[in-house]
Amino acid sequence: MLDQIGSVMTNPYELTWVPEAFLEAQELAPWTDLPSWIPGDPLMFVDVSAAVAAGLTFRPLATTARDTLEWDKTRPAEERENRGFGMSRAREREVLDAWHAAQG
């Protein structure tokens, strides 16, 4: 999922994988600080095979990501800067620095 989203980004990025226990120790909140992280959420395990068999189709995630980024650019700057979800870049840097320090 993250690779598909990254494929439409113009800014360079690097994914860093850390265990859930570390995220919890950093007091990050599922869904709020990391919108796609919901440990143990039963909705992540719903079987959609019957819907697919009945004709459900999916558009490419990269297309959705690109369209969402384009839409976001049309929003007022204040809304884009004060999203109310996700962590700030400063908090992200703090968590990543703590992770790398813990790895030696």
pLDDT of residue 25: 96
Look at the pTM and tell me if it is higher than 0.85.
Answer: no
pLDDT (0 to 100) of residue 96: 96
Q: What is the pLDDT of residue 43?
A: 80
Predicted pLDDT at 75: 93
Low-confidence ranges of the chain (pLDDT < 50): none
Using the CB atoms, write b or e for 87-98: b if 16+ within 10 Å.
beeeeeeebeee
Question: Half-sphere exposure of residue 72, counting CA atoms within 13 Å on the CB side?
Answer: 10
In order of 54, 56, 78, 85, 88, the CA distances from 34 in angstroms are: 33, 28, 21, 8, 11
Confidence at residue 48, expressed as pLDDT on a 0 to 100 scale: 93
Q: What number of CA atoms fall less than 13 Å from residue 55's CA on the CB side?
A: 0
Under 8 Å between Cβ of 3 and 61: no
Is 102:22 a contact under the CB 8 Å cutoff? yes
Return the pLDDT at 36: 83
- Rounded to the nearest 5°, which phi and psi values hold at 78? -60, -40
